[in-house]
Amino acid sequence: MEPKYWKYINFVGQMENINEDTEKLLKRVGAWEEYGENGWGPNRDKSINQASGGSQSHKTGSSSKVYKWFTPEKERLVENFYIDDYENPSFNFTITNLTQPIIDGKILKHNDTIYQHNDWDGAPIVVARYKLIFFTIPKVGDTKWKQVFRRMEQHMDWKEVGGPKGLPHDPHQNGLRYLYDYSLEDADAMMTSPEWTKAIFVRSPKDRFLSVYSQMNDHVAEIDQRCCPQNPGCSSILKDMVQFIGLMKTCYSGHWAPYSERFDEKWWNHIDFIGRLETVDVDSEKLLRSIGAWESIGKTGWGDHGNEAVFVKEEDAFQSVHEALGRYTSQADKLLNDYYKADYENPHLNFTSKMIYVMRSGH
């Protein structure tokens, strides 16, 4: 149910303690003696607890099977799926970690988002030879950055994009290493060590949204596949920018999700380089120089003729933003302020939520 109602729930029972909690609830509402204490069982001479056999009636013995069917990776996926329940104070659940013990004294935990396996950009990329940990973000130059990292790892086909291997994105085939490829101890040490650079590039939330909105209008099938695969057709809302923002709230995608949801809040203090897409030509050089990779990786070898730097200032880099501005309204602006509230309030990102100036003909 909606989070606003949880504060009104004043009794939460647990299946693991069903007998005790059932009696507590019925006594609390004055129904134990009349409805719970007797009248149950085949001869109606038992309490509701006795009739259940002294334990929950549909116990499955699942704990004895956990090591046969459960793996640490699957357990992490389950924990991540139910993270809202674990964080709900009304439930008082704890992550028991059935398949692998959580190591005390470590900041990084098995169920942290940055340690999860995902198809594309769940965990950060690790380039050990440059002691770099990089958090990729869709619509913020992630394709070229992955080419950079594949070049760092000396892959001969580092320029390749697309094709049957899904380069450079597919983590199963791109030849890159991710944080989850390291043991928990090593990954924790890398993320907290001042010797390692932890970097991310970001983009103004509204510019990023307009870019996504423009792209989705050219790839409507992606919306149907992601947001309504069982009943395609929700992509029709792309005709209305306000309705699309409403869909964003119920359909998660890394393309438009707030940066503050990219990983657990505790890690922002460990990010020591935040670049901007708006100044990517300058910031990319700063980052690559800081790790000693500018001369060999970033300074040249890029562009159609291989004589350009990795990122150059492009006059039409934000053309998609300008194309989407025609549908931008003050209502859309207010909705985006709310949707990206966490990003605007994140002191590490230093974004401003001022309204985008919409140029219209004759103004």
Model pLDDT for residues 104-119, shown as the tens digit of each residue: 567 898 888 899 887 6
Distance CA 174, CA 258 (A): 26
Between CA 274 and CA 277, with CA 276 as vertex, the angle to 5 degrees is 140
User: What is the pLDDT, as a whole number, of residue 99?
Assistant: 67
Does 195 score more than 80 pLDDT?
Answer: yes
User: Could you give the residue ranges of the DSSP H alpha helices within 228-349?
Assistant: 241-250, 280-290, 319-324, 330-339, 341-345
Domain boundaries in the chain? 3-51, 65-101, 118-363
**Could you tell me which residue, 95 or 204, shows the higher pLDDT?**
204
End-to-end CA distance of the chain: 47
Residues β-bridged to residue 302: 308
Structure tokens of 127?
């380039």
What does the buried/exposed string (b/e) look like for 231-259 if buried means 16 or more CB atoms within 10 Å of the residue's CB? Answer: eeebbebbeebeebbebbeeeeebbbbbb
With a CB cutoff of 8 Å and minimum separation 6, the contacts of 69 are none
User: What is the pLDDT, as a whole number, of residue 61?
Assistant: 47
Q: Mean pLDDT lowest for which of 20-29, 140-149, 307-316?
A: 307-316
Model pLDDT for residues 148-160, shown as the tens digit of each residue: 999 999 999 999 9
C-alpha distances (whole Å) from 273 to each of 67, 262, 270, 348 are 41, 16, 9, 10
Give strand ranges (E) for the chain.
Answer: 125-127, 132-135, 177-178, 197-202, 273-276
C-alpha distances (whole Å) from 148 to each of 40, 131, 176, 321 are 70, 14, 11, 25
Structure tokens of 44?
């109606």
User: What is the pLDDT, as a whole number, of residue 49?
Assistant: 80
Phi, psi of 250 (to 5 degrees): -110, -15
Phi, psi of 293 (to 5 degrees): -120, 5
- CB neighbourhood size of 183 (10 A): 10
User: What is the pLDDT, as a whole number, of residue 58?
Assistant: 44
Does 57 score more than 50 pLDDT?
Answer: no
Any idea what DSSP says for residue 166? T
Structure tokens of 259?
């940066």
